[in-house]
Amino acid sequence: MNASHRFSFRSTSELVEIVKRFGIHWQVAQISKGPLQGTISLQRRSDIAVLQLSTNQIITVLGARPRSTTCIAYERTNHLSDHSIRGEAVSPFSLHGFTPSITESFFKISAGAEMTIVMMGLERFLQLIALDPASRLRQTIDNSNTLTVLPEQFHQLMRLLDPNRELPHPDLLDALLLECFSRDAHFQNQGVTLSTRAALMRDLLAWGFENRDTPISLDQISGTLFASRSSIVQSCREIFGVGPTTLLKQIRLHEVHRALNNPLEMPLLNERPGVGAIAGLHGFTSGNHFARDYRAMFGEAPSSTLQRAMAA
């Protein structure tokens, strides 16, 4: 029996809340500027779930992965210019994320991308891998997190998991995955262990999510992350395409956007909530700079967001 759920989202906080309903815990940051629009769907059949995510902006995701679950991710379109898995660039016709020892999600999605994530029980996946007649796959997947398959296999997988169709019988998916992993497969060991720069950017993201109201000081962040300012700046530009101050500011802009859409949930505001007060709680001290950055990100003035929320 297929179960299917589909949602639209217009902010990173909406996306976080949607995946939480699926039992998935993500933290999401928008990298590129402009109003965010995306869709996410989840289909389930037996003990297999398939998540489909599309977005018009570049976003990055950090989250936990259950040890009992295997994830196999791929990009349906060819929008790979800004795509990365665990800080590494993505090649066409590639699958990612299946190494059993990896317990966190850390990826970046290009604007216009359509990402598919297949989730299945780890035991099911290991039993599938054990069917390999050469008996080498288990050792291979322990040391590899990326697999480039033949183009015809990749397109067959896309057709089988077409988001506009019901999920196939699990045996059909098992057979195709075993073929992808066994025949003419090209494995790469990148991403199993995070590179120094990727680990630094994961830690920077985690700091940004956990300290959304702390003033942004590159010197303080440098001391907290035990890395030089230049290393942080260079790694951030290489992986995210923006500087660390911009990245952290955009995390906070989305937090302010969430708060403006839910102003009565702000516990520290005893009087009628205002834009300046809400922005100030998230570390913004310049009203003019904040309003400019907010409009560039969301396509409207922060006061318009608040007025609409108060009228609802």
Which sequence spans correspond to the domains of the chain? Answer: 3-188, 196-311
Q: pLDDT tens-digit profile of 69-121?
A: 999 999 999 889 999 999 999 999 999 999 999 999 999 999 999 999 999 99
| CA gap 75, 52 in Å, rounded | 10
Q: pLDDT tens-digit profile of 237-274?
A: 999 999 999 999 999 999 999 888 887 766 555 556 68
Q: pLDDT tens-digit profile of 33-81?
A: 999 999 999 999 888 999 999 999 999 999 998 889 999 999 999 889 9
What was the pLDDT predicted at 135? 66
> pTM score, two decimals?
0.91
CATH level 2 (architecture), domain 196-311: Orthogonal Bundle (1.10)
What was the pLDDT predicted at 270? 53
Pairing of strands 48-55, 94-96: unpaired
Tokens 């101050």 sit at which residue? 245
pLDDT of 286 strictly over 60 = yes
Closest by CA to 4, choosing from 165, 237, 215, is 165
Query: Residue-wise over 189-211: b if at least 16 C-beta within 10 A, else e?
Result: ebbbebeebbbbbbbbbebbeeb
